[in-house]
Amino acid sequence: MTHATNASIEQGEPQIALGMNAEAPASTPVLEAVNVDVVYGEFYALVAANLSVAPGEWVAVTGPSGSGKSTLLQLFAAVDQPTSGSVRFQGVDLANRRHLDRYRRIEVGHVFQLHNLLPHLDAKRNIEIAMFGTHRGRQARSDHATELLSLFELTAQAGHKPPEMSGGERQRVAIARALANNPAVILADEPTGSLDPEGAAKIITVFDRLHRTEGTTIVMVTHDSEIASAADRVIQLEGGRIT
């Protein structure tokens, strides 16, 4: 996967390198689900699911509630494990990968539907905390958080706590936090689900800029066909099956 380095999303914005921490051959999918079943008791959340995501691709996963969309995303985020089959990152089965905490923190950036920001911390601190335990020292974390806030037009909200921000502002902080460690992939679960049309459009614009300018790989779960149409490819899930 080839990513631009030190490239800004828009001219005049701060230059921030975003993208993969480790390179894989261009022919190797970034993410793969191979013959995956996920079973909870007698309920099949996913059935024989096969999906390959190429480097730099933006894939939208759609389908009705309960179709397995979030389950698929949780597998890619290594939050859940398949009952059978395999889930792979850059060709390596996540079941065989050591230090999954590093994978979750560094390799993928997870954007949750309801933000999952810490309500007692301001926007800047919410971004900084994602970098704890990495090579960045205190000042470097502060500087990088400031750059990300500027990148997402959130400088004025740096000292605001989540309850003091709009839904769109909180979601942009959540995306900035997901990018704090330069992940290979953004995994976004209904990132516009709780936003009005204007707020949703801003989030999709952010994703489009990252995808187009930085070559960021994005897997986005959405129930909105119009939002899904921004992606390179749309995958439909019904009853746990990719149709």
Domain 31-242 - what CATH class?
Answer: alpha beta
- Over the chain (243 residues), the average pLDDT of each successive run of 10 is 36 44 64 96 94 95 91 94 95 89 87 86 94 86 93 92 91 88 90 82 86 91 91 94 89
CB 39 within 8 A of CB 83: yes
Whether this model's pTM surpasses 0.85:
no
Task: Say what the pLDDT of residue 142 is.
Answer: 94
Q: What is the pLDDT of residue 221?
A: 95
Question: What gap in Å lies between CA 94 and CA 78, rounded to an integer?
Answer: 7
Q: What is the per-residue pLDDT for 26? A: 55
The residue whose two tokens read 């179709």 is: 67
Q: Can you give the pLDDT at residue 215?
A: 86
Q: What is the pLDDT of residue 55?
A: 93
DSSP letter string over 27-60? TS-SEEEEEEEEEETTEEEEEEEEEEE-TT-EEE
How far apart CA 51 and CA 237 sit, in angstroms, is 11
- Dihedral angle over CA of 207, 212, 215, 217, nearest 10: 40
Residue 65 to residue 44: CA distance in whole angstroms: 14
Residue 89 has, within 13 A of its CA and on its CB side, a CA count of 27
